[in-house]
């Protein structure tokens, strides 16, 4: 709880500085853009957070985003443009299923073959990116002026709020019920805290770890869909680059411990919000955009150090 209060206070201070640094930040347009970015980053942070709670990690999320965005673009493109000409419903379903299958494969490799998650997903980072470049012949794939209604439905606004933010809020409600109010969510926390003890207590640990990987990759695929609708095109060699780092950073900044077994849905939302506001604040303070990753990495390191300090302090108090 103390950790959660701390990141909420940090977010409030960050938001206050943002408003003070530039009067333009107070505009409705800027808040709309912030909400849209929080919605996008929040979705992948949620996927990474669920997996981290279960004691896993996924370094392939960015490549999954690039692959699924490229595949969706090719499915929707007309046949005379080099695509398959699918209608939106089956194309979207197939894209989400592709993400789920990737997560299922990752989960099986980790649980059944006992390959380290770091190795499995690092290999996936290269494999999925390579597949995306191969099927697209390393060419950008776009929708042009087609599917305006679909783009508006997934990247527009409803009652003045970004659709991506509303989607994230809906996902957070579902994830909150699953993680914090169901026995299945408690299973994930138990597995992340002590997998062997969870197994001895009768929890089917392998099944739930595979589920965590499936959820993570499916949310990455969903991000790929929203990315394509927002940007109208996908570049197989670049789309999704570093997104796995943003996802993990958002979850960790939100209080998820890389040791597993810790984290909240609300914290993931706060972490994604912090991750979104940091580049804005640094730009307004005149920090070069080339140092954006440095700022994010520094904030993540500070969060990790504080997490370790609080853990040790708590352990000493118990002793």
**Rg of the chain's alpha carbons, rounded to an integer?**
20
- The answer to the question of residue 263 being in a domain is yes
What is the C-alpha separation between 220 and 240, in angstroms, rounded? 9
What are the mean pLDDT values of the chain's consecutive 10-residue runs (319 residues total)? 74 80 75 91 96 96 97 93 92 98 97 95 97 95 93 91 96 96 96 94 95 98 97 95 91 88 93 85 69 76 71 67
Secondary structure (3-state) at 157: strand
- The answer to the question of residue 318 being in a domain is no
What is the C-alpha separation between 307 and 252, in angstroms, rounded? 9
What is the C-alpha separation between 126 and 54, in angstroms, rounded? 24
**Closest Cα partner for 111 from 18, 221, 195?**
195
* β-bridge mates for residue 161, sequence order: 158
pLDDT of residue 226: 97
- The answer to the question of residue 34 being in a domain is no
- How many residues are given for the chain? 319
Task: Take residue 273 and report the two structure tokens written for it.
Answer: 């919000």
- The answer to the question of residue 319 being in a domain is no
CA dihedral 87, 93, 99, 103 (to 10 degrees): -160
- The answer to the question of residue 83 being in a domain is yes
- The answer to the question of residue 25 being in a domain is no
Which DSSP symbol is given to 296? H
- The answer to the question of residue 27 being in a domain is no
- 103-130: b or e for each residue (b if 16 or more CB lie within 10 Å)? bbbbbbbbbeeeeebeebbeebbeebbe
- 30-65: b or e for each residue (b if 16 or more CB lie within 10 Å)? eeeebbbbbbbbbbbbbbbbbbbbbbbbbbbbbbbb
Question: Beta strands of 9-135 (E only): which ranges?
Answer: none
Contacts 24+ apart (CB under 8 A), 287-291: none
Domain tally for the chain?
A: 1
User: Containing domain of residue 276, as a range?
Assistant: 2-10+39-306
- The answer to the question of residue 87 being in a domain is yes
Q: Can you give 100-129 as a three-state secondary structure string?
A: HHHHHHHHHHHHCCCCCHHHHHHHHHHHHH
| Locus of tokens 């994930």 | 188
């Amino acid at each position: 709880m103390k950790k959660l209060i701390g990141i909420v206070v940090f977010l409030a201070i960050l938001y206050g500085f943002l408003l003070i640094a530039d009067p333009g930040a107070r505009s409705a347009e800027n808040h709309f853009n912030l909400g849209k970015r929080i919605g996008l980053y929040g979705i992948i942070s949620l996927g990474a957070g669920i997996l981290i709670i279960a004691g896993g990690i996924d370094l392939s999320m960015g490549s999954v985003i690039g692959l699924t965005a490229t595949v969706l673009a090719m499915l929707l493109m007309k046949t005379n443009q080099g695509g398959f000409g699918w209608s939106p419903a089956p194309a979207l379903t197939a894209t989400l299923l592709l993400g789920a299958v990737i997560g299922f494969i990752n989960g099986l490799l980790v649980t059944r073959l006992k390959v380290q998650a770091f190795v499995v997903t690092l290999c996936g980072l290269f494999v999925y990116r390579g597949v995306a470049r191969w099927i697209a012949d390393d060419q950008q794939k776009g929708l042009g002026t087609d599917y305006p209604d679909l783009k508006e439905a997934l990247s527009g606004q409803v009652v003045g709020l970004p659709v991506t933010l509303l989607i994230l809020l809906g996902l957070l409600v579902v994830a909150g019920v699953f993680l914090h109010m169901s026995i299945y969510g408690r299973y994930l926390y138990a597995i992340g805290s002590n997998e062997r003890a969870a197994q001895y207590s009768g929890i089917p640990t392998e099944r739930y770890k595979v589920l965590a990987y499936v959820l993570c990759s499916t949310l990455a695929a969903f991000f790929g869909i929203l990315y394509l609708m927002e940007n109208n095109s996908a570049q197989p060699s670049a789309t999704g680059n570093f997104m796995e780092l943003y996802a993990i950073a958002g979850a960790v900044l939100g209080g998820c411990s890389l040791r597993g077994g810790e984290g909240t849905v609300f914290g993931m939302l706060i972490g994604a919000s912090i991750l979104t506001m940091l580049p804005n604040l640094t730009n307004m303070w005149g920090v070069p955009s080339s140092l954006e990753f440095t700022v994010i990495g520094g904030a993540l390191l500070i969060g990790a150090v504080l997490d370790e300090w609080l853990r040790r302090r708590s352990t000493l108090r118990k002793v």
